[in-house]
Structure 1
Amino acid sequence: MPHRPPPGTPAAALVVVVAAALAAGACSPRAEEPAPRTARDATTERPAPTRSREVPGDTRTPPAPPFIEAATWADSDYGVTLEVAPSTAGRGASGIDDSYAAWQEVLRLVPEADAPGMWEQFDCHWTWARLLEPDKPTWNVEPWRPVVSPERMLAEGCNPGGPEV
């Protein structure tokens, strides 16, 4: 039975926002390109990270790496979880390839995070959790969660196959 967030929670709000984004075809800045299957694919198939998009007349300097403050393993009632703490720059980054740069930082800190489904969970948190819960101290990604379609990932609040840890 799929996990459904209770009404009125940030995860429920995520489902509403995601459904609207899916309907509008705005799942990613590069919707025509599939997500990398593993972090190694992100390294080999994606261009080097670029600066955040520049808006004419905007004199602010875009956030620069590091985007990740820490990444550490912890135990939960369901299995191990990788607690990823974004930095202030990571919370404000909006460059088209900043998520890939941030994931590479996670892998430098915790190389064994390069497991099926981990990138997809991270990317979901990067894309959606930063908007809905901007002050959440960590994003948890778990190797025990199933690899699912982007639609299911979003429908289950970035936590497929079980509750938020």
Structure 2
Amino acid sequence: MIARRPAVVAALVCAAGLLLGACGSDDAVSGPPSTDTSSPVSSNTDSSNTPESSTYMSTSQPPTSQPPTLPPPYIAGADWVDTQVGPSLQIRPTRNGRDVSGDGTADEAWSEVLAMESDADSPGMRAQFDCHWTFARLVDPDKPSWNLEPDRPVVSEQEMIAARCNPGFAEE
């Protein structure tokens, strides 16, 4: 196992470099191949342990794990309130709604909102919800509610992100 350690480290550095776009380029972290023949790794003739082997790379790369898709409900409640900026739908996500990931979960959560408050169904409200679903959960995962206002303008995704999910006027 000790003989493989430099090769494993090199493979991990290369894998990290691939993520950063550096592996195999002039900007690569590692230098030229070693000419030191005293290293047990460089004298190994078994091709299954070389970085060029796909088997070697698949067993040497750190595993990537995604959080499991958690079951609904994702929304605990949604209530209309009057605020200084006008009507606001305050959406309260469940713990699973705060922690879930995966394709289709935003659609499923929005369906839960609409089942509670069908008059929330408008493009601007959905865009605000999607912004909160994507970003507010990361930036402020324990925010008590996500507040969506129907009077906010419909804007591009870039403008929505720049406005921190609150386009048109300040967060209430």
TM-score by length of 1: 0.63
Query: In 2 relative to 1, CA 152–64 (structure 1 residues): closer, same or farther, beyond 3 Å?
Result: same
Structure number with the bigger relative contact order (C-alpha 8 A, sep ≥ 6) is 1
How far apart are residue 116 of structure 1 and its match?
Answer: 3.1
Q: Give the distance between the partners of 1:59 and 1:140, measured in 2 at CA.
A: 28
How far apart are residue 61 of structure 1 and its match?
Answer: 5.0
Tell me what 2:159 maps to: 152
Q: Give the distance between the partners of 1:146 and 1:113, measured in 2 at CA.
A: 14
Tell me what 2:82 maps to: 75
User: Aligned AA for 2:144?
Assistant: P
Q: Determine if contact 1:73/1:80 at 8 Å carries over to the other structure.
A: yes
Q: Determine if contact 1:103/1:119 at 8 Å carries over to the other structure.
A: yes
Q: Does 1:95 align with 2:102?
A: yes
Q: Give the distance between the partners of 1:114 and 1:88, measured in 2 at CA.
A: 24
Query: In 2 relative to 1, CA 60–160 (structure 1 residues): closer, same or farther, beyond 3 Å?
Result: closer
- 1:32-56 Cα deviation digits (max 9, x unpaired): xxxxxxxxxxxxxxxxxxxxxxxx8
Q: Determine if contact 1:71/1:82 at 8 Å carries over to the other structure.
A: yes
Whose Rg is larger?
A: 2
TM-score by length of 2: 0.61
Q: Determine if contact 1:71/1:109 at 8 Å carries over to the other structure.
A: yes
Where has structure 1 moved over 3 Å in runs of 4 or more? 56-61
Q: Give the distance between the partners of 2:161 and 2:80, measured in 1 at CA.
A: 23
Q: Equivalences for 1:79-158 in 2 at 5 Å? A: 79-158=86-165
Q: Give the distance between the partners of 1:152 and 1:125, measured in 2 at CA.
A: 14
How far apart are residue 96 of structure 1 and its match?
Answer: 1.3
Query: What fraction of aligned residue pairs are identical, expressed as a percent?
Result: 49
Please, which runs of 5 or more residues in structure 1 have no aligned partner?
1-55
Tell me the secondary structure at the aligned position of residue 140 of structure 1.
strand
User: Aligned AA for 1:114?
Assistant: D
User: Aligned AA for 1:163?
Assistant: A
**Count of residue pairs the alignment pairs up:** 110
Please, which runs of 5 or more residues in structure 2 have no aligned partner?
1-62
Q: Equivalences for 1:2-81 in 2 at 5 Å? A: 61-81=68-88
